[in-house]
């Protein structure tokens, strides 16, 4: 039997403490087009009150599937009753019209004789949750669950490192005859929420559009469908992403997924949280998924080099890589940040005839410094760590300056290549006094107009927003990965929309 015929691909998890609020959110999700809702009855002060709510909702929304859950406190739910009381409530939910029920394995093993009635005209999901991590023998856990006849086996862990994602998702392919719902909680586990159905999972869970998530890492269904295009890419889709820490703020998924959509490319691009010290584990994950390529940003641009098979000469000299792809079984790296700096600048000045101050000494600053040195600029470097400033200046033939020395001079171009002024600390600026540039280029793009750019404008300087660099480097990444021309106008609109959403969210 193909169980996928029975379950829609996205289930909206509704965990509300008030019946009226539960019904209001359910109606809102239905009006948004969702037809598969989980009613977390254990969230209600009295779970029994959820039963007439199910009946009332389904009387007007007959084409909607309700999954009833009443998870016990011992299994990280909120229900304080016994297994007997839990089963009674779930039986009441089925009688009220819920098409499916979720019973955690710990309860299911203690009421096996009562479970078959849930499958009479409906569906039973047996679930396992681990909030501490991802155990080493997931196949053993799945075998334990599969001893109980059910229509779906939901195995949910917590991802502590990138490779946990692959271990969870691979259960579907290694157990093709077992109908599974496979997810990893937490920000590190987010890829499973997007990829699980393509990898063979029955469905994934989403948060309500205007309510709280019931598990860490859930995003709303609108985001899953519109941004990550769940259901629109196949099991053979190329998977890309951005590795960073933090990564949640990145607009790269919005930009690249929209570009893939515009070019009708079977691909998806994900935010991939990789903390310092996890690069080796991430590369294990990347090889097994397999990833086709990824963007690299703070704090990994320099350390990623040791894990690559080939790095182009410019990126090697810069000592930083922001773009990785796999070709002929080898991981290759380059640096599109360099062109992201020079291309916007060339619209305003002749780089080889200009004096340029680069503020910063990290991966982005190194990319700018070497690209500008190659273009013949008279180059100076400044920053907060003078030892690193001197090292970068020596590497690219630039003049090292303290910030006080830099502020005492005036340059044709100032390039700011540090995170200072990035949201949420939007009022910060690396320079406390006069801005030492006639043209000021800030690599920070959130907010679009930083405090540095605002002060530069007040001084009469020409400004270049960081979004120009972001879009240039992203377009070149897209072209490396796909071999097609990047849809630049589409990518720009997607970036502006994503930044507007973040600005609006921050204002609330």
Query: Catalytic amino acids?
Result: 301
How far is it, in rounded angstroms, from Cα 179 to Cα 54? 26
Quick one: which H or E segment has residue 125?
strand 123-129
- Yes or no: say if 17 and 45 are a contact pair by the CB < 8 Å rule: yes
How far is it, in rounded angstroms, from Cα 25 to Cα 18? 11
Beta bridge partners of 100: 67, 123
Kindly give the pairing relationship between strand 291-296 and strand 323-327: antiparallel
- On the CB side of 149, CA atoms within 13 Å amount to 9
In the block, tokens 């001084």 appear at: 459
Two tokens, residue 486: 């990047």
Distances (CA, A) of 125 to 151, 181, 202, 415: 6, 9, 11, 56
How far is it, in rounded angstroms, from Cα 267 to Cα 336? 21
Quick one: which H or E segment has residue 141?
helix 138-146
CB < 8 Å & 24+ apart, contacts of 135-139: 138/167, 138/168, 138/171, 139/171, 139/174, 139/175
Helix axis angle, 466-482 to 252-262, nearest 10°:
50
Helix axis angle, 386-396 to 363-374, nearest 10°:
30
Is residue 298 left, alpha or beta, with left meaning phi > 0 and alpha meaning psi from -120 to 50? beta
Least Cα distance to 295 among 268, 260, 318, 321 occurs for: 321
Residues 6+ away with beta carbon under 8 Å from 307: 279, 280, 283, 331
Two tokens, residue 378: 């008279």
How far is it, in rounded angstroms, from Cα 314 to Cα 305? 13
Least Cα distance to 100 among 61, 127, 139, 130 occurs for: 127
């Amino acid at each position: 039997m193909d169980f996928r015929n029975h379950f829609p691909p996205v289930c909206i998890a509704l965990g509300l403490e008030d019946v009226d609020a539960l019904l209001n959110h359910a109606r809102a999700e239905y009006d948004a087009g969702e037809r598969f809702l989980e009613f977390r009855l254990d969230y209600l002060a009295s779970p029994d009150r959820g039963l007439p709510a199910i009946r009332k909702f389904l009387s007007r929304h007959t084409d909607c599937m309700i999954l009833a859950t009443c998870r016990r406190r011992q299994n990280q739910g909120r229900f304080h009753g016994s297994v007997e009381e839990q089963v009674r409530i779930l039986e009441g939910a089925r009688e009220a019209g819920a098409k499916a029920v979720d019973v955690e394995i710990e309860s299911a093993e203690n009421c096996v004789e009562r479970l078959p009635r849930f499958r009479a005209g409906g569906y039973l999901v047996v679930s396992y949750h681990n909030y501490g991590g991802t155990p080493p023998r997931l196949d053993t856990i799945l075998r334990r669950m599969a001893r109980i006849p059910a229509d779906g086996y939901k195995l949910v862990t917590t991802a502590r490192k990138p490779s946990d994602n692959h271990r969870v998702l691979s259960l579907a392919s290694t157990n093709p005859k077992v109908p599974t719902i496979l997810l990893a909680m937490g920000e590190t586990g987010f890829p499973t929420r997007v990829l699980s159905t393509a990898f063979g999972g029955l469905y994934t869970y989403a948060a309500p559009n205007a309510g709280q998530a019931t598990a860490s890492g859930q995003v709303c269904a609108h985001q899953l469908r519109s941004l990550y295009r769940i259901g629109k890419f196949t099991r053979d889709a190329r998977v890309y992403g951005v590795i960073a820490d933090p990564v949640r703020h990145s607009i790269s998924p919005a930009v690249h997924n929209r570009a893939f959509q515009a070019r009708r490319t079977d691909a998806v691009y994900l935010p991939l949280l990789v903390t310092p010290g996890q690069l080796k584990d991430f590369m294990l994950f990347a090889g097994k998924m397999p990833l086709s390529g990824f963007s690299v940003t703070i704090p990994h641009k320099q350390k990623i080099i040791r894990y690559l098979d080939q790095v182009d000469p410019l990126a090697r000299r810069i000592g930083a890589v922001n773009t990785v792809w796999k070709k002929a079984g080898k991981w290759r790296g380059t640096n599109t940040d360099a062109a992201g700096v020079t291309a916007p600048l060339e619209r305003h000045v002749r780089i080889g005839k200009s004096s340029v101050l680069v503020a910063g000494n990290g991966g982005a600053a190194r990319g700018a410094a070497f690209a500008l040195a190659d273009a013949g600029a008279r180059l100076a470097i400044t920053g907060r760590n003078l030892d690193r400033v001197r090292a970068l200046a020596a590497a690219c033939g630039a003049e090292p300056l303290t910030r006080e020395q830099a502020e005492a001079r005036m340059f044709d171009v100032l390039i700011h290549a540090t995170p200072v002024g990035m949201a949420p600390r939007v009022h910060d600026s690396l320079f406390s006094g006069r801005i030492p540039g006639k043209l000021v280029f800030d690599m920070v793009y959130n907010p679009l107009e930083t405090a540095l750019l605002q002060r530069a404008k007040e001084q009469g300087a020409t400004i270049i927003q960081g979004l120009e660099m972001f879009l240039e480097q992203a377009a070149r990444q897209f072209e490396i990965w796909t071999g097609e021309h990047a849809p630049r106008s589409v990518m720009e609109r997607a970036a502006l929309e994503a930044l507007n959403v973040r600005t609006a969210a921050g204002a609330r």
